[in-house]
Structure 1
C-alpha cells in the first residue's frame, strides 16, 4: 500500500482514508464545537493546550488528566482497525474539542453555516516548511523525502502533507473578521504568550481567575509543554522521536539556501499579493 496519494488536489497520508474525506462532506457540526485548525506543524498542539487549560478554568491538573491526543477529535486520521474519527466525534458530548489540518474544500461544509468557534494558527511558511520537513522524517506514516531540496520544491508546489500552505493561510486570513474566527500567528505566541492567552480567553468569553495568567503562560510555554508527557507525544507508535522539536522562529535559516530564500520570497509576494498577510521570520 502506498504511504500517501493525492485526493482532490491534496496529498494525504494513507491514514487519511477515503472514508474520512467522504464523511467530511456530511459531518454534523455543532454550534458549540471548539475547533483548532492549522496547517500541519504550525503550533497546533500549543494552541490545543491553551484552549484546554482555559476551558477547564485554568485547572492544569484537570486539563491534563487525558493525553491531548484524546482530548480532541482529530478528524483527519484513523489508526488501522480503529473506528473512524467522525464516528467517535458524533458520540461525544458538547462542547466538543476538534482539531484538523484539512484544507477548506475538504473541510466539513457545515462549518460555514453552523459557525462554531474556530481558532486558526498561522506560522511563517519558511519555519513551517522546515518543521514539516523534519516531521516527515520522524513520523512513520508520512513520506520520507530524500533531501531538503526535494521537499522544498514539493512544498512550494503545494505537493506535501497538508496541501498548499498559501491556499490554507489565505483562506482563513480572509475570514479573520468573522465573529466566530480568531486568527493567531505563531510568532506572536513566541513573542508575547500572555497577550495571546488573553486574546483567546476573550474570544471564547472564558475568564482567567485573578493571578492565574502568569501560571497559564508558564504551563503553556513551549519548554514546559515539551517536558509534559500529556502534550509531547513521546509514546506514540507513529513517532520515531518526540513530537515537539524546537519550536523556534528562524530555524528555517538552517535549511533554506540564500537562493531558495530569495526565490520563496518572490513566490510569497506573488501568491499573497494584496492580502495584507505578513509574517515575521525572525524575532
Structure 2
C-alpha cells in the first residue's frame, strides 16, 4: 500500500527575538492511502503545528514532509499539496467565505480554475456526500455549528483531495454537531477511500481510527491500534490525557470484582460484555 504522507525527521521551531521554541522534535510518520489516523495530545504537544506543516502552511525547520510524492519545501508544489491534502480547521466560520452555501462550496474549485459545468457537478456531489444538498441555497449564518462544519468539509471534498486533515474540527461543536461531523468523516473514509488524519482531544473520536498516535512535547510517545494505545491508562493520564469513558469504567468494574475485559472502548462493547455476565 502506498504512503500518501511521509514525515521524516521533522523538527519545527518557532523563533522570536528573545528565544526559540521547538514545537516538533525529530518526528517520523507514514500514513497509507485510505487510512484513518488520529493524533492526540494535550495543548502544546505539537499536534496542530504538525497539521500546519503537513498542509505547507508552515515549512520544516529540519527534515522533510512528502505529500503524495511532493516535498512541502518546494514552492512549486504548494497548491498541488493543498489540493491533495485539504484541511478543515477548528472554527468553520473562518473557512466560510460566501453568503450562500453552494457558492461557498464552489469557491475552492473556482480558485483552481475548474470549468463551470464541472464545478456545478462537484458542488452538488460534495453537498450530497455531507448531507447538506437540501440546504444548498441557505445562507451559512443560519446554519448550526455542525452544519457549517459539514459545509466546510464539502468545500474541501469538491476540490477532490486524496487526504483530508481535520485540525480539532469538532472542538467548537455541541455533542450532536460532533456526531454529525464524525459520521461524515467515517463515511468519506470508508466509502470513498479518502485518507483521514484527525487531530482531536476527544478520545471517543480517536477510537474510531485505524491507528492512534500520541504526541507529547513534539515527540511521538505511543502509536498503535486504539485498543493497544488506550490500554496504557496510567501513561496517558501522566501526560494529562483522558481515556475513553468505557475503558476507564471497565477498569473500575474489574477493581470492584466484576470480571470483564479491560480493553473495552465503546458503549456497545460494554453492553455486550455486561450482557454475558451471569
Global fold match (TM > 0.5): no
Q: Taking CA–CA contacts closer than 8 Å with sequence separation of 6 or more, which of the two structures ends up with the larger relative contact order?
A: 1
Tell me the TM-score normalized by structure 1. Answer: 0.24
Tell me the TM-score normalized by structure 2. Answer: 0.25
**Whose strand proportion is higher, 1 or 2?**
2
